[in-house]
Amino acid sequence: MTIPFKSRPVEFHQYQLFPGNVFDLLPEDHECFLYGELFEQLDTISIEQTYSRKGQHAYHPKLMVSILIYAYSRGVFSSRQIERRCREDLSFMFIAQNHCPNFRVLSDFRKDHAAFFQTCFKQTVQLALALKLASLGHISLDGSKFKANTSKHKAMSYQHLKEQERQLIDEIEALIAQAARCDQEEDQRYHDQTGYELPADLQFKQGRLSKIKAAKQALEAREAELNPDQPIDGKKQISFADTDARIMGKKGDFNYRYNGQISVDADQQIIVAQHLSLNANDQQEVEPALTALQDSTGRLPDQLSADNGYFSGNNLEAFAQQGVDAYLAPGKGETTPSSPLAASERKLVKADFTYHEADDTYTCPGEQTLTVVRHSAEGQKIYQ
C-alpha cells in the first residue's frame, strides 16, 4: 500500500519558461514589505553629504541603514551573519535589494555612523506618531540590564589602582637609576646597538603604568559625574576593556553591565524613547527618561507608569516639575496606611511619614523628627 505523501513539484529541477519575481515566494503580509516602505522614508542626506564622487561607487547609506536596522530587529547582530542572511534569506535579500555588502563594509558603516542610528530612531518614532501607531496617551517606563563587552577579570578597584600606580612609579624610577649606573658599561652591554634602547622591563612597566593611569582617570571622571562632591570609595571598580560599564546585579549575578531605560507607548507597544544609564538602580532615571521623550517626540506623555524601582524623591520631584500624571508602585507587598491595623502593629511604609519641605525633614507616627544624616553612594538621602 502506497502512503499518499505530497509529490515533488515538476518544476523543482527545471527552469521556468517565463521569468517570475522570487520575492513572490514570501507571504503577502510578511513584515519585510512594511519595513521596506518605512525605510524609504528615512532621511539620510546628512550621511550622503560625507561621500565623495571620486573612486568606486558606494552602497547607498539608506540601503546600509535598512539592512542593519532590519537585521537588529530580527535579533541578528553579527556583521558576518548579516552578510550570510543577505545571500540566503529572502526577506534580507528584499531589504538589501539583492545587494550583499561585505561584513567588513557593514561593520565599518555601523562604527562610522553610530550617532546616525539615534537619529534614525527619532525618525521612526515620528513616523509611528504620524501613522497613529502611538499617541503618547500612556507611557510605561522600565529598565533592563545589558551585559557589557568585558568581565570582572579585566578590572581593578580604585584603591588597587592607586597602589599599583605608586608601585610601578617606584619600579620605573629604580630601573632608570639602574640604567644610569650602567652607563659606563654600555659599550660592552650593547655592542653594535646605540645604547639608547629602553630595557624590556622598562618598556613593559611604562605601558602598564599608562594603562593604569588612564583607567584611574576614567574612574575618577565617572564618579565625579555620577556622585559629584563625593569621595571615591576605594572598592569602586573599573574595567580596562570598557571604562564606561559598571558592576550591576541581575538576579544575583553581578557583572559589568549598562542600565537600558525604555519608554513604551501603550497603543501598539512601540518604543518611543530610550537612554542608557550607568546607575545600578532606577531611582534617578525619570528626569533623563522625560528628556529623551521630549527629544524624540517633541512633547511629554499624558500619563506614565513605572514599577516600585522608580519610587524615589528624585523621580517624584521630576514628575512634579514636568507636570506629568504619574503612577508609581510605592512598594512590593507593602501594607498601605489605610490598613485597619495601627501603625504600631504593622511594618511602617514611607507613606506613614509626613514630609516637611521647608526644612527637609519627616515626622514619623511617633511624632519624632527625622533629619538627613548622610547621603548614600547613589545620592539618596538617609533620614534618621
In this prediction, residue 30 has a pLDDT band, given cuts at 50, 70 and 90, of: very high
pLDDT over threshold 80, residue 73: yes
Q: Residue 95 has what pLDDT? A: 94
Answer with the residue of higher pLDDT: 77 or 159: 77
Q: Can you give the pLDDT at residue 133? A: 80
* Contact predicate 243/154, CB 8 Å: no
Q: 187-201, 203-217, 296-310, 364-378 — which one is most confidently predicted on average?
A: 296-310
| Cα–Cα distance, 203 to 197 (Å, whole number) | 10
| pLDDT-derived band at 362, boundaries 50, 70, 90 | very high
Residue whose cell numbers read 594603562? 211
- Statement: residue 171 has pLDDT above 80: no
Given this model, what pLDDT does residue 7 score?
A: 65
- Percent of the chain scoring above 90 in pLDDT: 22
**Mean pLDDT within 181-193:** 55
Q: pLDDT per residue over 119-139, tens digit each?
A: 888 888 887 888 788 888 898
Q: Strands 361-363 and 381-383, how do they pair?
A: unpaired
Decide which of 234 and 133 is more confident.
Answer: 133
Q: Mean of the per-residue pLDDT values for the chain?
A: 78
pLDDT in tens, 199-217: 565 556 666 666 666 666 6
The per-residue pLDDT for range 172-182, each reduced to its tens digit, is 566 666 555 56
Grid cell 496617551 — which residue?
Answer: 137
**Residue bearing cell 533623563:** 288
Rounded to 5°, angle at Cα 21 from 20 and 25: 110
Q: Which residue has the higher pLDDT, 367 or 331?
A: 367
- Residue at grid coordinates 521556468: 16
d(CA 284, CA 54): 49
> How many angstroms separate the CA atoms of 13 and 11, rounded?
6
Mean pLDDT value of segment 338-358: 72
Q: By mean pLDDT, which of 124-128, 183-187, 249-253 is the weakest?
A: 183-187
Q: Of 281 and 341, which is predicted with more confidence?
A: 281
Quick one: pLDDT band at residue 227, thresholds 50, 70, 90? low
Q: Taking residues 159-163, what's their average pLDDT?
A: 60
Provide the grid cell at 87.
545571500
Rg (CA), the chain: 30
Going along 251-302, which residue ranges are E strands? 253-265, 271-277
- pLDDT at res. 126: 84
Looking at per-residue pLDDT, the higher value among 12 and 348 belongs to 348
Cell of 197: 634602547
The confidence score (pLDDT) of residue 89 equals 94
Q: Which of 29-43, 101-115, 150-164, 307-321 has the lowest mean pLDDT?
A: 150-164
Question: For residue 206, what pLDDT is reported?
Answer: 63
pLDDT number for residue 18: 62
* pLDDT for the residue numbered 103: 92
Give the type of residue at 80.
Answer: R
Our measurement of the distance from residue 123's CA atom to the centroid of its chain's CA atoms, rounded to an integer in Å, reads 19
What confidence score (pLDDT) does residue 168 get?
Answer: 62
